[in-house]
Structure 1
């Protein structure tokens, strides 16, 4: 029997982190969440709640000190010795398929293991070539990592591979602390009753994420939103293009979360720090990099993305293809035109 899980809807405070987790449940291709903060801040509780939003997917914690073989899988020795044939023994990545892989203190893992986890999380496929075995299997999971910066940092190249990065407030206000303790004690006293008490709120949160996931593919990645984001990323001094793509996907997921038909200024603002916090070189607040609404987004939705919605390919199909991958996406036609003009002598 599965042990009751503290409902995400019952978590007090941590609203930015709850939103970041919900957006990843809506669009897993955002690329997971890195949470900074000390112990005792309910990071694992929040991550467990995320698994429920994915439709009761598994929640797998990476064991401390796990070897590469334990993570990716290896040769089944019993079959090799007893039956004389090579057979694959699945590892942690196979167990996490369809759910959440939680890595506590990810900054203390060897870099090559962090790189391995991020590669598989991005592709959704685990490929193993070793010990006479050539095997691959689906490994579609959301990666949630935690770290305490006082115990060591992640290399910038690895930080960049996480879609979002957030820092938890380690000193909540007294009233908030008291309510956190009340709910924790109530859950510990009678987990089943506590879960039942919050079942309606949790079901509403799960349904909201499911509906947003269903409408995600109908929301265009239009020129106006793209121009705001690429300009802001350039001003923030971020390397590469991952921040731009994560930010654009996150803004669209936020629009779906709001039940909107288009990406709007509020969506871009809401997720700016999630995408830029661990990537920007400019120390300015992320939202200060974003121009006012009237300068970029036309108020009339009919004026936005007209050509983009006429078969130019910037509306992504729904479905599971390309899980987590940061592949190149078609560029909106208006931007194509401007880029073409820029190249002319």
Structure 2
């Protein structure tokens, strides 16, 4: 396992980071989730990412139980705040001071720790003054409940404003957590250049494009039983944008590239996002321990420039590059 600095900070994290968004507390049983976490630890993963909204707080609880007994100083535990949890009352969402201060305590309790290494704004909150949000984060850091602050799916302009306020308030905003893969490159034109300028790293989610880049979905063929594309709990909705024959045909053209590097298609996808020097980590999930071991093999892989070009040529115009897609992630209304 290779490790990278998070932003301009001194914190190092495993470049393959274990995330439990669509699995723990919902799609897999708790004992299997624990087995996956154990597999991650055995593979050298030290960084674990979750959020209070995942499985309506259950994902944090499962992760806390799975990491119980591990040396806390040897781990980097990340979580997030924004989306509604609990009974979804009028203040159970967003980035108000009230919601942040109450949410961090709930997350720490469920994770069975007195601090998280990174506390992230899960989305930008257009309904709360940014000054209020950043002051609350500053107080969370000063209280020792989080070491660093990050964000998820913020635009370049939102990042600039957040980093400026963070510096004025005396804490570090060090990371951005966007979707990023061979098929989804919307951060490349604006978010990544701004992040390099600001000393912010990317922790990217869905590097395998919800499993599409594993190559298991074939054009014109039935969906594999038990796959994410057949999951009615949310997985099918997330992956449907890629369930087109033109996309799946292009993805199949990557098979020779993976073979040339002696990688699986999933390993190629994870290795590809790690070629971007602004990416500190690729988030992987797992529904069984073998998936963890497979994806970890992407750590330390270098894809030659000529093969990076072949990947671009193979995927062609099915790649989404529109920078405006990041702004679309900012909620347009309150959830409660």
- TM-score, normalized by length of structure 2? 0.26
Larger radius of gyration: 1
- TM-score, normalized by length of structure 1? 0.26
Structure showing the higher helix proportion among its residues: 1
